[in-house]
Structure 1
Amino acid sequence: MEIMKRLLFLDDVRYPLEAYHYTKEDIFLRKDWHIVRNYEQFINRIKDNGLPEMISFDHDLGDEHYLNSDSLEYTEKTGYDCAKWLIEYCMDHYLDLPKFYSHSMNPVGKERIIGILVNFKKMKWTFLD
């Protein structure tokens, strides 16, 4: 029987050890990471296994997430889309957010992911007061 991995690492190409090399965060040295590479894998992992202890987000999940100049639409979901889905999931199921981190090398994307998750946590506690 496989021990369920309680840490979820969202990144299209990197592995947790690579994130350790530029973040120096010891959490990335743990061996119990489950890696998902895109939006669909992220959603399916949480739906099938519940919320992990912690999620580390990348923002850019492949080059296709950039704006398609022909249709003016994004063609690939990003880590920010995963964070938005996670908030909806937690609201729908009355769950607290797991711990979160963004190891993204995209500073604007990283700020957007952390910002939406922090704001949701603040909003949730405001409603409980």
Structure 2
Amino acid sequence: MMVRLFLDDERFPSEDGWIVVRSVAAARTWVEANGFPDYVSFDNDLGDGQPEGRHFADWLIERDLDRGGMPSAFAYYVHSQNPVARDAINAKLGAYLRYREAGRQAIGEGA
């Protein structure tokens, strides 16, 4: 079963079957307790003075670099209405996933 995490301080996913977290702290706590989800849908702006979705994306990358555990088929979507933040999350996570894939292919895992 695919585990899908929805990070947003106000909205709800349009269908059932999502784990909804309202803050970066809650998202990090969930991942620490349960492991990486297979899919994350990101909002960026999570309330005044709160860490943003892009910070959670950064944390996911750092956690995977430090301890591993991100599924090989990890995927995401940025549903934030903030175009600058959406582009930043897409650029950073996209680059990291391409880096991981290139590494797997280099050692023969992708063949």
Q: TM-score, normalised by structure 2?
A: 0.83
Flag the structure with larger Rg.
1
Alpha carbons of structure 1 residues 6 and 125: separation in structure 2 relative to 1, 3 Å: closer
Aligned runs of 1:1-129 on 2, under 5 Å?
6-17=3-14, 29=15, 31-64=16-49, 76-96=50-70, 98-128=74-104, 129=106
Which letter maps to 2:10?
A: V
CA RMSD, Structure 1 to Structure 2 (Å): 1.8
* Counterparts of 2:78 and 2:67, CA distance in 1: 23
Equivalent residues, number? 103
Q: How much does 1:123 deviate? A: 2.0
In structure 1, the gaps of 5 or more residues are: 18-28, 65-75
Alignment TM-score, normalising by the size of structure 1: 0.73
Structure 1 residue 78: Cα displacement: 0.4
- Identical-residue share of aligned pairs (%): 35
Structure 1 counterpart SS, 2:37:
coil
- The code of the aligned residue for 2:20 comes to I
Q: CA deviation at 1:10?
A: 0.2
Alpha-carbon distance in 1 for matches of 2:34, 2:101:
26
Q: Which runs of 4+ in 1 moved over 6 A?
A: none
Farther-moved stretch of structure 1 (113-122 vs 90-99): 90-99
User: Is 2:5–2:37's contact at 8 Å kept on the other side of the alignment?
Assistant: yes
Give the Cα separation in 2 of the matches to 1:35 and 1:95: 21
